[in-house]
Amino acid sequence: MRRIRSRMDILDAERYMMKFDAAKYAVVCPKGTRKFSGLGTRRTPKLYVVGQDRWPIYVGVTQQRMSDRLRSGFAAKGAGGYHGYAWRHVHTAAWLDVWCLAGEPISPTQRDAETVEAEIVFRIRQAGQWPMHQTEIHFHPSNDEHRRIADRVMAHYAK
């Protein structure tokens, strides 16, 4: 039986601008509309990076549409131990980059997204400190592809 190799990649980020308070948020998409579009609407494994100035303060993963994921992060009140996004209590504006994983012929999994997330957070730590508002991370063994994608994402940000 011949094993088919899949090469995982990441699509270029879409940047959204966000304004928010502890309970609600509003976004402006790259097209100038006030809703998610493009990668933000896909139900595929994706990374999202929240930042201030030019540096990430939070890295997350989801397979949900970004509107659904953010809604749950802003509505959380601590039930079941989930308190939502810590950064919503400290800041009132941030940028949000949405990165979508891709692969042929095998699509990346949520576990792949979590592995890349951990590699990105590790690189942020290597640059100085853990992301300011990172409250959770999933660790899985990584391979060269996960690390290559994390390097590509981090090349997008300047310290």
Domain-by-domain residue ranges, the chain?
Answer: 7-155
Per-residue pLDDT for 118 more than 60?
yes
Q: What is the residue-averaged pLDDT of the chain?
A: 92
Residues with Cβ within 8 Å of 153's Cβ and at least 6 positions away in sequence, in order, are 10, 13, 47, 49, 99, 116, 120
pLDDT in tens, 47-81: 999 999 999 999 999 999 999 999 999 999 888 88
Per-residue pLDDT for 144 more than 90?
yes
Helix 110-126 and helix 144-155, axial crossing angle in degrees, nearest 10:
60
Q: What is the mean pLDDT of residues 34-55?
A: 94
What's the pLDDT at 107?
85
What's the pLDDT at 121?
97
What's the pLDDT at 3?
46
What's the pLDDT at 6?
62
What's the pLDDT at 67?
97
Percent of the chain predicted with pLDDT > 70: 96
Q: What is the mean pLDDT of residues 74-98?
A: 94
Q: What is the mean pLDDT of residues 139-158?
A: 94
Question: Which residue(s) pair with 10 in the sheet?
Answer: 101
CA distances from 13 to 40, 96, 97, 132 (A): 10, 9, 6, 21
CA distance 102 to 39: 11
CA distance 119 to 29: 27
* 74 Cα distance to chain centroid: 16
CA distance 155 to 124: 11
